[in-house]
């Protein structure tokens, strides 16, 4: 075993690859949740615009948040990344 450690100076053969991946996925989940919370506050703002002027924006953002939440429930990391990037661009 010591020869493997010496032959692998960059730690490519380490068994910690899965730990790194799950850590990255946990970070993605946390970041997506933060974006969902941020956009939900934005939805409240749009809903508060007088005369229903923000209802269309609120409706679109509600659908986006719903789909992002569904990607979390299904643990679909590809969709989670997609919705994270989409939610980041919501103003």
The angle at the Cα of 63, spanning 31 to 25, to the nearest 5 degrees, equals 25
Tell me the pLDDT tens digit for each residue of 63-79. 999 999 999 999 999 99
Say how many CA atoms lie within 13 Å of 58 toward its Cβ: 13
Is 90 exceeded by the pLDDT of residue 45?
A: yes
- Segment 39-62 shows an average pLDDT of 94
Check: CB of residue 54 under 8 Å from CB of residue 47.
yes
- pLDDT top residue among 86 and 8: 86
Q: Which of 63, 72, 60 has its CA nearest to residue 34? A: 72
Number of other CB atoms surrounding residue 37 within 10 Å: 12
Across the chain, mean pLDDT equals 83
pLDDT confidence bin for 11, thresholds 50/70/90: low
Q: How far is CA 26 from the centre of its chain?
A: 9
Phi, psi torsion values for 45, nearest 5 degrees: -65, -50
- Read off the tokens for 43: 């939805």
Task: Look at residue 19 in the predicted model and tell me its pLDDT.
Answer: 42
| Residue % of the chain over a pLDDT of 70 | 75
Sketch the domain layout of the chain as residue ranges: 32-91
């Amino acid at each position: 075993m010591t020869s493997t450690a010496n032959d692998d100076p960059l730690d490519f053969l380490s068994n910690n690859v899965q730990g790194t991946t799950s850590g990255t996925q946990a970070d993605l989940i946390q970041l997506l949740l933060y974006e969902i919370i941020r956009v939900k506050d934005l939805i409240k703002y749009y809903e508060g615009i007088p005369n229903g002027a923000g209802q269309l924006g609120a409706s679109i953002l509600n659908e986006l948040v719903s789909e992002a939440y569904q990607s979390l429930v299904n643990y679909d990391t590809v969709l989670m990344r997609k919705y994270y990037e989409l939610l980041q661009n919501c103003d």
